[in-house]
Amino acid sequence: MSAPVKRIVVLGGAGAMGAGIVRDLISPQSDTNTHITVADISPDRIGEVIAEFDPARVSALALDVTDAAALADCLAAADLCMNAVPTFAGLQMTIFNACLSAGCAYADLGGMGVYTVRQKAEHEKWRAAGAMAVLGLGADPGMSNVICRAVADRLERIDKINLYWAAELAGPENPVLVPPYNIETVLGEYANPSQQFLGGALVEVAPQTGQETLQLPAPWGETEFMYSQHSEPLTVPFADGIRDKGIGEFTWKLHLPKREHEAWVGLVKAGFGDFETPIDVKGVSLRPSEMLDAMIRHNMAKRAADIPVQETHEIHLAIGEGERGGERLRVEARVTADPDPLYDGYLDAATSMNASLAAQLMLRGDVCAGVWAPEEFFDVTDYFAELRKRHFEIALEEAAL
């Protein structure tokens, strides 16, 4: 007898990340025994997303998630909800709580950490209800948390784990600014202060600080990183098997290609990193970030012919220092994603694919009730096996200190 079909609803499924998640969920490297509902407020964009997919496996649902009754009906029919609605839309807790009420497993991309602590505080409520939530799925956070677990598992005592993400572009310079992922996420990374785990406690640090240069393999070379707002420091140093090993430092740092980095710095200087103060433009009230989002999308569409083909290379790097067997040790976990035909059609294959594979792993076993971070929930071996199916390269190295 075949296993029952698992039903996954992707909220915000017509956005760039949501559409990528759907693409991987129905790909040959994924579990075929699923049905995907692409739920979004924009019917036209949903139609564009699902047009290429098998209608027996993918269906459309026009949904305004602020309509509580409609959201409840949607979730009642699902085994798992993947929340791909942008974090700064402010709907994270609404969707999170609706999943609990519906008894639907919950997952999100909540990388900025805006709601992570509030969600984690609901662990006992979810556990008592027999419901399951895993927060911050994607590449960073998500896969990044899992590689931190891989590092931690090789150390008996942990002094520190430092986490890095870098992207590099190869090919002609792009005369058009193309965001690497959600525009408000990038702006938040550059404009907002962040929480880093320093001296055994969370400390707020100013945006664009903590500069550090690492020598990385080609094509990155000498690469400068900075502190950035992310959820990993809010969970990793507090996880079982990490906290109790004495960790005193945990940081997350970002690197974008030089010219793109300069553009985002300039846009924040110009005020587009303001997420709170609406501006009235000819009778229309918009936040600066919303104005910029519309402007960039318009420019990308207008100048589509000017956008050259570029190859994106990503590296996700966790470096831990501590002891094992009485000896000082440095452990490094790297996951790299180089250009591959498998990634065609994705804006950000690493984020979309990791969110998809994590959702499938959540549904593969028994319900693990509670609210979890990825480093608490996933088995490293199982997770890495799914990454390799998607052509990510994984390296784990140790060196005496």
Q: Burial letters for 120-147: b for 16+ Cβ neighbours within 10 Å, e otherwise?
A: bebeeebeeeebbbbbbbbbbbbbbbbb
Can you tell me which residue has the tokens 């990385």?
216
Q: Taking the model in full, what pTM does it have?
A: 0.93
Q: Which residues contact 364 (CB under 8 A, 6 or more apart)?
A: 31
How far apart are the C-alpha atoms of 93 and 64, rounded to whole Å? Answer: 15
Phi then psi for residue 337, to 5 deg, are -130, 110
* Phi, psi dihedral angles at 274 (to 5 degrees): -85, 115
Place domain 6-139+349-387 in its CATH homologous superfamily.
NAD(P)-binding Rossmann-like Domain (3.40.50.720)
Beta strands in 242-364 (DSSP E): 249-255, 279-281, 284-286, 311-324, 327-337
355/141 Cα distance (integer angstroms):
10
State which amino acid sits at residue 275: F
Superfamily in which the 140-344+389-400 domain is placed by CATH: Dihydrodipicolinate Reductase; domain 2 (3.30.360.10)
Q: What is residue 320's three-state secondary structure?
A: strand
The torsion of the CA quartet 40, 101, 113, 41, rounded to 10 degrees, works out to 10
Taking CA atoms, 345 is separated from 19, 49, 167, 201, in Å, by 10, 11, 18, 41
- What pLDDT tens digit does each residue of the chain (401 aa) get? 567 889 999 999 998 899 999 999 999 999 888 999 999 998 888 888 888 888 889 999 999 999 999 999 999 999 999 999 988 788 899 999 999 999 999 999 986 788 999 999 999 999 999 999 999 999 999 999 999 999 999 999 999 999 999 999 999 999 999 998 888 889 999 999 999 999 999 999 999 999 999 999 999 999 999 999 999 999 999 999 999 999 999 999 999 999 999 999 999 999 999 888 899 988 989 889 889 999 999 999 999 999 999 999 999 999 999 999 999 999 999 999 999 999 998 888 999 999 999 999 999 988 899 999 999 999 999 999 999 999 999 999 999 99
Residue 366, pLDDT score: 83
Tell me the domain boundaries of the chain. Answer: 6-139+349-387, 140-344+389-400
pLDDT at 2: 61
Contact 309, 378 (CB under 8 A): no
Exposure on the CB side of residue 399, measured as CA atoms within 13 A: 6
d(CA 390, CA 30): 10
- Identify whether the C-beta of residue 318 lies closer than 8 Å to the C-beta of residue 144: yes
Phi-psi label, residue 187: left if phi above 0, alpha if psi -120 to 50, beta otherwise: alpha
Instruction: Give which of 137, 273, 292, 295 is closest to 208, Cα–Cα.
Output: 273
| Structure tokens belonging to residue 217 | 């393999």
